[in-house]
A = this chain, B = another copy of it.
């Protein structure tokens, strides 16, 4: 059990868990400013893992230092609490989409969420550095089906290919397709 928390400073990472059969579920993509493993504060021994999607810079903070800081600055404690509730809100929406939406809408919503979160941390390019495998594991779909879903999104002129990366060309229609409403991210 670790004695520190990790903070993502630069880059994109993902939080995931792997099943016995090797299948992976990506729980969240993380951006600058996100704590990667705060949950270990409450659940030191769980199976959740973190991996970099791009190259990352990280910072560490000792648990006891963090606790001391919270004691000293109660508003930090409140901010961390709010961050946890926001994380829960994101998980809820993911659950709705994975549980109740077909592949096209599901992928569209996931992409909208990443665009919104990237924007919030100043990443304004519409080119998203995720592989089809990453998207498959986040959406709960097979790689092959993700690939075909992407082809459909490209056919609709919503996505385009840049070398190996995908680029969102028509964000409006992507959001329309997904019925995306960023309210749950605490954004406009």
Contacts and interface: CB of A to CB of B under 8 A. Distances in A.
B179 A96 contact: no
A89 B186 contact: no
Contacts of A42: 82, 85-86, 89, 186
A85 B38 contact: yes
Contacts of A81: 77, 80-81, 84
A54 B16 CA distance: 35
Interface residues of A, number: 45
Q: How many copies does the complex hold?
A: 2
A169 interface: no
Interface string A66-94: 00001100100110111011111101101
Contacts of A48: 92
A125 interface: no
Contacts of A94: 91, 95
A98 interface: yes
Please indicate which of the listed interface residues A23, A88, A100 has the most CB atoms of chain B within 10 Å of its own CB: A88
18 contacts: A19-B101, A20-B179, A25-B96, A25-B100, A39-B89, A41-B85, A42-B85, A43-B86, A46-B183, A70-B78, A74-B77, A77-B78, A77-B81, A81-B81, A81-B84, A91-B95, A95-B140, A99-B139
Interface of A: 15, 17, 19-20, 23-25, 27, 38-39, 41-43, 45-46, 48, 70-71, 74, 77-78, 80-82, 84-89, 91-92, 94-96, 98-101, 139-140, 179, 183-184, 186
